[in-house]
């Protein structure tokens, strides 16, 4: 079987630059992993569920509606969560949350290199939940607005 010239050229290029071709493929896989979707509770692993409890974002009897973990490994070093009682976010050092009755306003911003949900508390403080561009933060935001009341949300 005779291969077309463009395939021979591609093989030659990858043969000479095999490390570069390997990195290119790896880059694409990692980029997909860095932009996970907002997940429902049945899509979460045990480490992710445990991370919510460890950070005080899940009380006994409280259910998870949506979860977003931006890490490559899904190791729950940081995450955004919408539960039946509150919305929250955490990273390795800090945890921020607001119960629905304490939400003054919520805004979805899809500009730039990420998507953000900014939630204002009655104290005047804000928490910001950041999502990857392909995360589908709109369904997280839609559910938040149903919980706090559409009149408190701006799109």
Cα atoms in the Cβ-side hemisphere of radius 13 Å centred on 30: 6
Q: Comparing 3 with 43, which gets the higher pLDDT? A: 43
pLDDT for the residue 15? 44
60 pLDDT more than 70: yes
- Which pTM was predicted? 0.72
- CATH number, domain of 90, equals 2.30.29.30
Question: Are 48 and 23 found together in one domain?
Answer: no
User: Confidence class of residue 47 from pLDDT cuts 50, 70 and 90?
Assistant: confident
User: Confidence class of residue 43 from pLDDT cuts 50, 70 and 90?
Assistant: confident
Q: Which residue range forms the structural domain that includes residue 127?
A: 41-154
Question: Are 58 and 21 found together in one domain?
Answer: no
DSSP state of 152: G
135 pLDDT more than 80: yes
Structurally, the chain folds into a number of domains equal to 2
Q: What average pLDDT does range 100-108 have in this prediction?
A: 98
Question: Are 77 and 101 found together in one domain?
Answer: yes
């Amino acid at each position: 079987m005779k291969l077309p010239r463009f395939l021979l050229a591609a093989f030659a290029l990858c043969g000479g630059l095999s490390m570069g071709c390997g990195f290119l493929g790896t880059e694409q896989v990692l980029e997909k992993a860095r932009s996970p979707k907002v997940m429902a509770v049945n899509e979460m692993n045990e480490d992710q569920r445990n991370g919510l409890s460890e950070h005080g974002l899940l009380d006994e009897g409280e259910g998870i509606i949506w979860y977003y973990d931006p890490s490559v490994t899904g190791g729950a070093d940081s995450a955004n969560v919408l539960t039946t009682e509150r919305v929250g976010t955490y990273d390795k050092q800090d945890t921020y949350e607001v119960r629905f009755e304490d939400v003054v306003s919520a805004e979805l911003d899809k500009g730039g290199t990420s998507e953000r949900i900014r939630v204002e508390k009655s104290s005047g403080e804000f928490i910001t939940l950041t999502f990857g561009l392909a995360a589908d933060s709109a369904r997280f935001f839609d559910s938040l607005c149903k919980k706090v009341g559409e009149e408190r949300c701006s799109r």
